């Protein structure tokens, strides 16, 4: 039964994600994120340099190594390589919240991403992305995206503009190679900074 509910949730998320701004319009007041206050351990050593994300376009994606959508890592890496020198950051946030599909530890996840998909974009250490235990970044995302935009599965994507506001969200059904995501990134990169 839970598999059917998860699939139904993905379908509904995909339909809603195809309607730009629906979830953002329902989220109430928009509050920009202050990247200087976001603390995320790197999957490597130390903290990620999130203060450096201020004024950049950031695509935040909750990831998992054993998911049916794990192949999206390849498309995410392609986006990162295409736009990283233009003020874009792709931030992967491994999570075990959906189906136990990220059971490994930091070293195992890092090794899998690097050896299987040649990942070079920043990866955080594994985090909760839903519920009371969600990382503060994902709590901010939930308030900005509203209930329809909260992560429903692995590889949910959130685009944050240069001004720190959430621009749009995409369910796992919208792959990183989609025209919608590519167009949104290019438009956000062309927008003035904070």
Based on the residue annotation, tell me whether 113 is a catalytic residue of this protein. Answer: no
List Cβ neighbours of 171 (8 Å cut-off, separation of 6 or more).
10, 13, 14, 16, 17, 152, 153, 156, 157
Q: What is the number of other CB atoms lying within 10 angstroms of the CB of residue 24? A: 19
Comparing CA positions, the residue from 80, 91, 165 lying closest to residue 124 is 91
Q: Are 185 and 87 in contact (CB under 8 A)?
A: no
Q: Are 61 and 91 in contact (CB under 8 A)?
A: yes
List, for residues 132-163, the tens digit of each pLDDT value: 999 999 999 999 999 999 999 999 999 999 99
pLDDT beyond 70 at 3: no
Residue 21 structure tokens: 């701004």
> Which listed residue (43, 57, 60, 67) is catalytic?
67
pTM of the model: 0.86
Domains with residue ranges and CATH for the chain: 2-190 (3.40.30.10)
List, for residues 42-70, the tens digit of each pLDDT value: 998 899 999 999 999 999 999 999 999 99
Tell me whether strands 57-63 and 88-94 are parallel, antiparallel or unpaired. parallel
pLDDT at position 45 is 83
∠ CA 171-177-180, nearest 5°, is 60
pLDDT band at residue 194 using 50, 70 and 90 as cut-offs: low
pLDDT at position 8 is 43
Q: Which phi and psi angles does 41 have, rounded to 5°?
A: -70, 140
Residue 113 structure tokens: 């991403």
Enumerate long-range contacts of 177-185, CB under 8 Å, 24 or more apart.
177/75, 177/78, 180/18, 181/59, 181/79, 181/157, 182/79, 184/159, 185/57, 185/59, 185/79, 185/83, 185/88, 185/159
pLDDT band at residue 37 using 50, 70 and 90 as cut-offs: very high
């Amino acid at each position: 039964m839970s598999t059917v509910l998860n699939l139904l949730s993905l379908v509904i998320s995909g339909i809603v994600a195809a309607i730009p701004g629906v979830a953002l319009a329902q989220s109430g007041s928009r509050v920009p994120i202050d990247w200087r206050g976001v603390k995320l351990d790197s999957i490597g050593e130390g903290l990620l340099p999130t203060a450096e994300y201020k004024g950049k376009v950031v695509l935040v994606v909750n990831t998992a190594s054993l998911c049916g959508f794990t192949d999206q890592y390849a498309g995410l890496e392609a986006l990162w390589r295409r736009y990283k020198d233009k003020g874009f950051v792709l931030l992967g946030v491994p999570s075990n919240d959906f189906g136990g599909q990220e059971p490994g530890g930091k070293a195992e996840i890092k090794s899998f991403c690097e050896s299987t998909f040649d990942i070079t974009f920043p990866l955080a250490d594994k985090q909760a992305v839903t519920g009371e235990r969600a990382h503060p970044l994902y709590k901010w995302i939930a308030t900005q995206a509203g209930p329809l935009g909260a992560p429903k599965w692995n590889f949910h994507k959130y685009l944050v503009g240069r001004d720190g506001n959430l621009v749009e969200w995409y369910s796992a059904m919208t792959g990183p190679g989609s025209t919608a995501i590519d167009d949104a990134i290019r438009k956000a990169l062309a927008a003035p900074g904070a």
